[in-house]
Amino acid sequence: MDHRPQAWGRPRDDVYGAYDPSYFHNSGPKTATQSPIVTGTSVIAIKFKDGVVIAADNLASYGSLARFTDVKRLRPFLNASVVGFGGDVSDMQYLDRHLKELAIDVAYITPEASEQTKDFTAANLFTYLQKVMYHRRNHFDPLWNQILVAGLDNDDAPFLASVDLRGTSFTSPSLATGFGAALAQPIMRKYAATEEDAAKLTREQAVDVVKECMKVLFYRDARSLDRYSIAVVTKEGVELKEDEQLERQSWAFAERIKGYGTQTV
Amino acid sequence: MAMFSQNPLMNGPNYSFSDSPRVAAPEGTRQHRFDPYTDNGGSTLAIAGADFTIMAGDTRLTSGYSINSRFHPKVFKIGGTTADQKDATLVLSVVGFAADGEALKERLDSICKMYRYRHGKPMSVKACAQRLSTILYQKRFFPYYAYAILGGLDEEGKGAVYSYDPVGSYEREQCRAGGAAASLIMPFLDNQVNFKNQHIPGSGEGHALQERERRPLTRQEVEILVKDAFDGAVERHIEVGDGLQMMVITAAGIEEIVLPLKKD
């Protein structure tokens, strides 16, 4: 009999074998995101004369299942930037909590709202997010997202940039994640191939282009939805609409498609 | 007390989960692992002249078959005292995995800045070159997947180019091409910069052939050579194109030139 109190109430090692501590979470692999589970599809954005338009649909898919149909994937930050998330939704929610905390910290340091946005522009926020993403990839525990950040830079010029789960970051007059990179980006590049082109676009034109792209994405991306969020970021702040419906849908163009299928002519 | 125990494990001081023998890993080790690297394409080039160095790189950023950005610079001024790098003396080009390249650039830049604040003078290319090698080798077992080239003027004012592999092996050279189209550009450089396989016509047969005399190229010649090299690479490599960024380092400072390349 073992009289030591530490041993009481425990299965005897000589009978049951030593306790397997791998069940105790202090050995074995880290519980890191090894693959995305619930995912959001494309985020698209384009710069215009005095700001950026960004959009993403409201669907979170579980594989091929359209699981959650009212998930907001555009998040405003300090009424000066919008962050659009593609990829894993739980990682998006983690980052969203993280950014909320950050916004509270900023509010404590600079209580005046107009001063906050001077210190924390979209460009600053993006640099921060890039570091977070790259740091997590360095620890083999990536946040499985591709992120677009829209807003203004430190000179009040339109700012748009992208960072992915490996910390790769880049900017462009228009950007799109996921399927949008193949379907929406060519359309947006027709209107804003260069920064100069983008600087000539009006707000109305930019919004129209983005809405048209959302329509194309809904036609051809099987993991998309006709309910979407769209935000316009300018010097005046963020105007975010989170429950928009795709308008003027029509498959009339399908008749004119030739070259494949069972067509005999 | 332990001598009465039937269990060899209990001979330790007490029961603790950390004391029990560790099982290597639970069942079903992950098949799919996160791959922390990608190749973002692009190409770089550096040529040292008698009193200048030209560093160049295209500005396309790709992943797979898609173009992420048509203007993403790969060539950076390093070690200026301010963020705009107005008074920088060194230039670094990085190509390969863009996120690692960026991180490497930022580390080297901050080290050069610290050196400058502490010593009141900019870091020499030779010192910076050795330091860059050390930075790369420190990550020998999780490398920065980037091919770096460092350019500047040496103590005698001559053009200096140092080229690296991702784990820090380095060498001073007259010229070097890096990245996706390195294998297309480097042979062209061997021929045009180091005059390899160039002979004096009619000087003999076979081994009797006399080599063409080597001479340093002028700045104008090098600028044309760089443009030609990239125009050639753009034609044959899909990951190269959009824009050509050149940094010309002379005793007077660093001049930046951006030229268009084919966007297809």
Residue B146: strand pairing partners = B96
Residue A251 counted as domain residue: no
Query: SS3 string of A26-89?
Result: CCCCCCCCCCCCEEECCEEEEEECCEEEEEEECCEEECCEEEECCCCCEEEECCCEEEEEEEEH
Residue A211 counted as domain residue: yes
Residue A11 counted as domain residue: no
How many percent of chain B have pLDDT more than 90? 84
Asked if residues B159 and B249 have their Cβ atoms less than 8 Å apart, the reply is yes
Place of tokens 């707000």: A203
Q: Which candidate from B9, B32, B61 shows the least CB-CB separation from A18? A: B9
* Cα–Cα nearest to B148, from B249, B71, B78: B78
Asked if residues B236 and B59 have their Cβ atoms less than 8 Å apart, the reply is no
Whole-structure pTM over 0.90, yes or no? Answer: no
* Test mutation, B1, B11, B18, B22, chain A, max A CBs within 10 A: B22
Please give the residue range of the domain that contains residue A202: 38-246
How many percent of chain A have pLDDT more than 90? 78
| Residue type at position B38 | T
Mean pLDDT taken over chain B: 91
The question of ipTM being above 0.95 is answered as: no
Residue A233: strand pairing partners = A52, A238
Quick one: average pLDDT of B78-105? 96
Residue A88 counted as domain residue: yes
Q: Which candidate from B15, B102, B103 shows the least CB-CB separation from A10? A: B15
CA distance B109 to chain A (A): 16
Q: What is the pLDDT of residue A31?
A: 62
**Cβ neighbours of B70 in A, within 8 Å:** 172
B74 — contact with chain A (CB < 8 Å)? no
* Cα–Cα nearest to A45, from A229, A249, A246: A229
| Residues of A identified as active-site | 33
Q: What is the pLDDT of residue A253?
A: 87
Q: In what order do the strands lie in the sheet with A43-48?
A: A174-176, A43-48, A51-57, A227-234, A237-245
Instruction: State the Cα–Cα distance between residues A80 and A100, nearest whole angstrom.
Output: 14
CATH number for the domain spanning A47: value is 3.60.20.10
B26 — contact with chain A (CB < 8 Å)? yes
Q: In what order do the strands lie in the sheet with B243-250?
A: B175-179, B43-48, B53-58, B243-250, B253-260
B27-81 per-position pLDDT tens digit: 555 445 789 999 999 999 999 999 999 999 999 999 999 999 999 999 999 999 9
Place of tokens 């998040």: A75
Quick one: average pLDDT of B111-120? 97
Q: What is the pLDDT of residue B178?
A: 98
B201-252 per-position pLDDT tens digit: 989 888 899 999 999 999 999 999 999 999 999 999 999 999 999 999 999 9
Longest Cα separation, chain A: 91
* Cα–Cα nearest to A42, from A151, A141, A181: A181
**Cβ neighbours of A166 in B, within 8 Å:** 36-38, 97, 99
**Cβ neighbours of B71 in A, within 8 Å:** 171-172
Q: Provide the domain count of chain A.
A: 1
Burial A47-76 (b: 16+ CB within 10 A, else e): bbebbbbbbbbbbbbeeeeeeeeebbbbbb
Residue A28 counted as domain residue: no
**Cβ neighbours of A30 in B, within 8 Å:** none
Q: Which candidate from A13, A140, A182 shows the least CB-CB separation from B36? A: A140
Q: Which residue has the higher pLDDT, B2 or B108?
A: B108
Residue A262 counted as domain residue: no
Quick one: average pLDDT of A49-74? 97
Q: How confident is the model at residue B1 (pLDDT cuts 50, 70, 90)?
A: very low
Residue A261 counted as domain residue: no
Residue A241 counted as domain residue: yes
